[in-house]
């Protein structure tokens, strides 16, 4: 089910001709299998799964295995949530392939599954989604990962979102922590829910011991000193933890494609509590470098776009009063909030500047 996300993201980032047409039939076959094995009333995949290896993250797996054996069915939140996300991705792919009826069908099925998940997995007393159902009943197991997925995949209602973000940012002892293998999903969920500052602090606190453990730091399979598998059974160099690189590229540096294959680029840093950042993304169109610094009421952004690639620079407003904008040593007029003029658009919290290929320096200052 992760495969659908991989297909869509690869197309967005590399845009190879015929790629979606080649992979879409495989996704349809996956969904056909799901439909054949789903509960006819809820459309959830409730069945007794063979073998012990149906799991998403080590801490969750350890808790699930502690449940008593003998239940007739197990229904896993993450399986149903991933299927919901897969159907939405399939809906987008079908739309891109000029199949509107297929697109609508997948979207409608995703909505039905989303409603079943809300009805069956949500625990109103704990104010979180449960990890799984055993014989149709919620198991008293709750995790950062599962509730991160609920936020990220639009399963949580607005009221539930407020409750979940509160529980994630002020975690209680019974909330299972996510491992480095899947921390990306929790970070993305928190940022999506407006908790950018907390998300960066969370990232820094969790990775600091890992970065300090070796002279040449590596990404570990488990957090330092608290692996659920024991210290001798986890890898100290594991690619599963590299999701944080995506978060730093797309949020801290703010680099995302505006058009498939990076034919157009958006650079919109989300500083949070950070005061500076710099880095480079090797995109399909060429290297994209970004450097920014925040000082008082002044925000400075430097970026280099590849040849033939246009883009937009989105600078966070350092205040709601009058603004001064300088681009490559030329002062530009800043239109009133909600208006656009001469390639500059002023939003409630940002100022966006349309730019051609090449190197750019932009400085946004709250004027006296």
The answer to whether 292 touches 285, Cβ cutoff 8 Å, is no
β-bridge pairing 350-355 and 310-316: antiparallel
Q: How far apart are CA 3 and CA 82, in angstroms?
A: 10
Extract the tokens encoding 41: 């009333």
**What was the pLDDT predicted at 69?**
67
pLDDT in tens, 141-181: 999 999 999 999 999 999 999 999 999 999 999 999 999 99
Identify which of 208, 276, 216, 213 has the alpha carbon closest to the alpha carbon of residue 244. Answer: 208
Q: What is the CATH T-level fold of the domain 2-178, as seen in this structure?
A: Glycosyltransferase (1.50.10)
Its sign, for the CA torsion 43, 46, 52, 58, is positive
Q: Where are the domains of the chain?
A: 2-178, 256-366
Look up residue 198 and give its DSSP letter: H
Average pLDDT of span 14-33:
96
Q: CA-CA distances (angstroms) from residue 31 to 34, 37, 88, 90, 97?
A: 5, 10, 12, 9, 18
* Same fold across 2-178 and 256-366: no
Average pLDDT of span 347-368:
94
Query: Over 60: is that where the pLDDT of 319 sits?
Result: yes
Phi, psi for residue 314 in degrees, rounded to 5: -115, 110
Q: CATH homologous superfamily of domain 256-366?
A: Maltose phosphorylase, domain 3 (2.60.420.10)
Global confidence as pTM: 0.92
pLDDT in tens, 212-247: 988 999 998 888 877 666 556 678 888 888 888 999
């Amino acid at each position: 089910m992760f495969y659908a996300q991989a297909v869509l993201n690869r197309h967005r980032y590399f845009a190879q001709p015929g790629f979606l047409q080649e992979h879409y039939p495989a996704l349809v076959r996956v969904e056909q299998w799901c439909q054949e094995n789903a509960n006819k009333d809820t459309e959830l995949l409730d069945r007794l799964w063979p073998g012990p290896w149906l799991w998403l993250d080590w801490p969750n797996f350890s808790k699930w295995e502690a449940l008593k054996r003998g239940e007739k069915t197990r229904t896993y939140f993450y399986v149903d949530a991933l299927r919901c996300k897969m159907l939405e991705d399939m809906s987008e792919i079908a739309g891109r392939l000029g199949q509107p009826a297929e697109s609508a069908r997948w979207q409608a099925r995703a909505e039905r599954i989303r409603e079943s998940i809300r009805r069956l997995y949500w625990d109103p007393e704990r104010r979180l989604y449960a990890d799984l159902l055993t014989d149709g009943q919620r198991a008293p197991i709750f995790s950062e990962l599962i509730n991160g997925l609920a936020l990220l995949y639009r399963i949580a209602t607005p009221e539930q979102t407020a409750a979940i973000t509160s529980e994630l940012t002020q975690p209680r002892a019974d909330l299972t922590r996510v491992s480095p293998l899947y921390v990306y999903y929790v970070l993305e969920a928190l940022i999506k829910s407006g908790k950018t500052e907390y998300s960066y602090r969370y990232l820094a606190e969790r990775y600091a011991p890992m970065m300090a453990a070796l002279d040449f730091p590596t990404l570990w399979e488990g957090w330092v000193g608290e692996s659920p598998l024991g210290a001798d059974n986890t890898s100290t160099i594991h690619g599963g933890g590299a999701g944080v690189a995506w978060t730093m590229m797309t949020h801290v540096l703010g680099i995302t494609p505006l058009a498939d294959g990076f034919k157009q680029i958006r650079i919109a840093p989300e500083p949070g509590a950070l005061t500076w950042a710099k880095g480079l993304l090797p995109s399909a169109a060429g290297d994209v470098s970004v450097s920014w610094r925040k000082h008082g009421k002044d925000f400075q952004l430097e970026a280099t776009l590849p040849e033939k690639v246009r883009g937009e620079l989105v600078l966070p407003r350092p205040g709601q009063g009058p603004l001064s904008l300088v681009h490559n040593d030329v002062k530009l007029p800043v239109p009133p909030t909600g208006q656009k003029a001469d390639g500059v658009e002023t939003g409630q919290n940002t100022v966006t500047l349309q730019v051609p290929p090449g190197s750019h320096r932009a400085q946004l200052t709250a004027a006296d």
